[in-house]
A and B are shown apart, each in its own frame.
Chain A
Amino acid sequence: GQQVMQIPQYQHVQEGEDFTTYCNSSTTLSNIQWYKQRPGGHPVFLIQLVKSGEVKKQKRLTFQFGEAKKNSSLHITATQTTDVGTYFCAGDNDMRFGAGTRLTVKP
């Protein structure tokens, strides 16, 4: 079945530093979604990417979908303490979520 690998597993940054998490699939994806889960909370939908090479921005967050539609990235510029949480990608083909990247931010 489809495997969605996410790296890194953990990332600790100083507030103000940038952060990037990567999602890689073994097969071509029809689309990819990103979710954020705050500590003790539930996943919340952030965005969906559909087109090859697509780039979308939400304030300090930039999402990219690779040209081959096999990988995606989420980049946060100038992290804030409110960015703390685990970021998951999910490939649409068979609903497999990546294991997530847990972000901690030191004030």
Chain B
Amino acid sequence: NAGVTQTPKFQVLKTGQSMTLQCAQDMNHNSMYWYRQDPGMGLRLIYYSASEGTTDKGEVPNGYNVSRLNKREFSLRLESAAPSQTSVYFCASSSNLRLAGGLYEQYFGPGTRLTVT
């Protein structure tokens, strides 16, 4: 099993460009998440999907959109990239949603390092 995979690993964008970050998991998990990680700020939740067909905003959703394409895949789209979106993006999955008080550990992908110039 590959676990959680993310593409691309690295990306450089110019301000105003758009792109989609891809994430897939092969663990048959219901819930998936997108985080960004900035130095000194830990992980911040952008969006999450409790189950196929549902998505919800996290702590920092502005400037992003997501699509839960099917149970395996959860993509993150930047419509008009800004330098403030320079960060490392992590996708994660868990067997079920944690926000409802569930006790499920998250499995993280390797991350995408995005630079916006």
Contact = CB atoms under 8 A, between A and B. Distances in A.
A52 interface: no
Nearest to A86: B42
Contacts of B33: 95
Interface residues of B, number: 25
A45 B45 CA distance: 16
Interface in A74-105: 88, 90, 92-100
A28 to B, nearest CB: 12
A97 B44 contact: yes
Interface residues of A, number: 24
A32 to B, nearest CB: 11
A30 B59 CA distance: 19
B42 A100 contact: yes
Nearest to B41: A99
A31 interface: yes
A42 interface: yes
Interface of B: 33, 35, 40-45, 48, 58-59, 90, 92, 98-99, 101-103, 105-111
Interface of A: 1, 6, 9, 30-31, 33, 41-45, 48, 50, 88, 90, 92-100
